[in-house]
Amino acid sequence: MTRGSPESRIQELRRLIRYHNDRYYREDAPEIPDAEYDAMFRELARMEEVHPEFFDPESPTQRVGAAPVDAFGTVVREMPMLSLQNAFGEDELREFDARIRRHLENRGYPGGGRVDPFGYTAEVKIDGLAVELTYEGGRLIRGATRGDGVRGEDVTANLKTISDIPLTIPRSSSAGPVPDVLDVRGEIFMEKNDFTGLNRGRERLGEAAFANPRNAAAGSVRQLDPRVTASRRLRLWVYGIGRIVPGTSVHPPFEPLLFATHMEELDRLAAWGFAVIRDWTRGYLPDEKRHNPADRHYLDDPLDIEGVIAFYREVEAKKDSLPYEIDGIVAKVNELGVQRELGKVARSPRWAIAAKFSPDRAETTVEEIVVSVGRTGTLTPVAILSSVTVRGVKVRRATLHNQDNVDAKDIRVGDRVVVQRAGDVIPEVVESLSAKREERGRGTPFRMPDRCPICGSPVTRVAGEAAHRCTGKNCVARRKESLRHFVSKNAMDIEGLGPKVLSTLVDEGLVAEPADLYRLNRDMLAGLARLGDKSADNLVQAVERSRTPTLGRFLFALGIPHVGEHLSGVLARRFGTIDAIRTAAPEELSAIHEVGPEVARSIREYFDSVEGNLVVDHLLEGKTVEIRPEPATEGIFAGKTFLFTGSLGLPRAKAKEIVRKGGGTVATAISRRVDYLVAGENPGSKLAKAKEMGIRVISEEEFIEGEFGGDG
Residues that bind ligand IVH (CB under 6 A): 82-84, 123, 125-126, 130, 146, 187, 239-240, 277, 330, 349, 352, 354
Rank residues 265 and 700 by Cβ distance to ligand IVH and give the closer one: 265
User: Of 330 and 369, which CB lies nearer to ligand IVH in the complex structure?
Assistant: 330
Least Å from the CB of residue 460 to ligand IVH:
52
Q: Collect all residues with Cβ–Cβ distance below 8 Å to 27 and sequence separation of at least 6.
A: none
Cα 681 from Cα 695, distance rounded (Å): 18
Q: DSSP code of 647? A: B
252 upstream amide cis, omega within 30 of 0: yes
Stretch (H or E) spanning 485: helix 476-487
| Minimum distance from residue 241 beta carbon to ligand IVH (Å) | 11
- 3-state helix/strand/coil string of 388-444: EEECCEEEEEEECCCHHHHHHHCCCCCCEEEEECCCCCCCEEEEEHHHHCCCCCCCC
CB of 177: closest distance to ligand IVH in angstroms? 25
Q: What are the phi and psi torsion angles at 611 (to 5°)?
A: -60, -45
Nearer to ligand IVH, 350 or 479 (CB): 350
Q: Which CB, 41 or 556, lies closer to ligand IVH? A: 41
C-beta closer to ligand IVH: residue 217 or 603:
217
83 touches 149 (CB < 8 A): yes
Closest approach, Cβ 329 to ligand IVH, in A, equals 8
Residue of 361, 329, 341 whose CA lies nearest to 93: 329
Q: Give dist(CA 509, CA 499) in Å, integer.
A: 15
Is 125 labeled as catalytic in the residue annotation? yes
DSSP classification of residue 563: -
Alpha-carbon span 324 to 450, nearest angstrom: 44
Whichever of 69 and 542 has its CB closer to ligand IVH, that residue is: 69
Q: Smallest distance from the beta carbon of 130 to ligand IVH, in angstroms?
A: 3
Residue 381 contacts residue 116 (beta carbons within 8 Å):
no
Catalytic, out of 125, 356, 409, 686: 125
Q: How far is the CB of 27 from ligand IVH (least distance, A)?
A: 18
Question: CB-based contacts of 704: which residues, under 8 Å, 6+ apart?
Answer: 650, 658
Q: What is the DSSP letter of 23?
A: I
Q: How many CB atoms lie within 10 A of CB 448?
A: 15
Q: Are 324 and 57 in contact (CB under 8 A)?
A: no
Residue whose CB is less far from ligand IVH, 92 or 428: 92
Nearer to ligand IVH by Cβ, of 299 and 515: the residue is 299
**Residue 170, Cβ neighbours under 10 Å: how many?**
13
Strand order in the sheet with 696-699: 665-666, 641-645, 676-679, 696-699
Residues in the chain: 712
- Are 48 and 10 a contacting pair, CB within 8 Å? yes
The residues that bridge with 390 in the sheet, in sequence order, are 393
Report the residue number, 265 or 415, with the smaller CB distance to ligand IVH.
265
Determine the residue with CB nearest ligand IVH.
130
Q: How far apart are CA 454 and CA 379, in angstroms?
A: 10
Q: Count the neighbouring beta carbons within 10 Å of the beta carbon of residue 555.
A: 27
Longest dimension (CA), the chain: 94
Helix locations, 107-145, DSSP H: none
At its nearest, how many Å lie between ligand IVH and the CB of residue 585? 58
Closest of 80, 100, 195 to residue 147, by C-alpha: 80
Q: Which of residues 145 and 432 has its CB atom nearest to ligand IVH in the complex? A: 145
Rg of the Cα trace of the chain? 30
CB of 176 to ligand IVH, least distance (A): 23
Is the torsion defined by CA of 414, 30, 126, 333 positive or negative?
positive
Instruction: Report which secondary-structure segment, H or E, holds 289.
Output: helix 287-290
User: What positions carry a catalytic annotation?
Assistant: 125
